[in-house]
């Protein structure tokens, strides 16, 4: 989950689907994935929000 947040913070959206799928397979909830991405808001700003569509699409597959 931390790694997903880091990927969002450094704008590596292409890596997010794989790691979200792995997190889901290990029991992460959709809300936990969202929270891991949004945790970077105070430090990085709105840039992390760009990762949400890729993460949610990967989770919903």
- Ranges of residues in the chain whose predicted pLDDT is under 70: none
Query: What pLDDT score was predicted for residue 54?
Result: 96
pLDDT of the residue at 20: 98
pLDDT score of 12: 95
Enter the tokens of residue 3.
Answer: 């790694």
Residues in Cβ contact with 54 at an 8 Å cutoff, skipping those fewer than 6 apart? 13, 14, 16, 17, 20
Task: Give the sign of the dihedral formed by CA 41, CA 29, CA 27, CA 23.
Answer: negative
Give the model's pLDDT for residue 30.
98
Q: State how far the Cα of 27 lies from the Cα of 14, in Å rounded to an integer.
A: 22
Provide the pLDDT for residue 25. Answer: 98
pLDDT at 11: 95
């Amino acid at each position: 989950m931390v790694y997903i947040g880091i990927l969002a913070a450094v704008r590596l959206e292409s890596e997010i689907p794989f790691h979200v799928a792995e997190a889901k397979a290990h029991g992460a909830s959709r809300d936990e994935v969202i929270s891991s991405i949004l945790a970077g808001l105070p430090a990085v700003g709105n840039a992390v929000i760009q990762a949400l569509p890729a993460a949610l699409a990967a989770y919903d597959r």
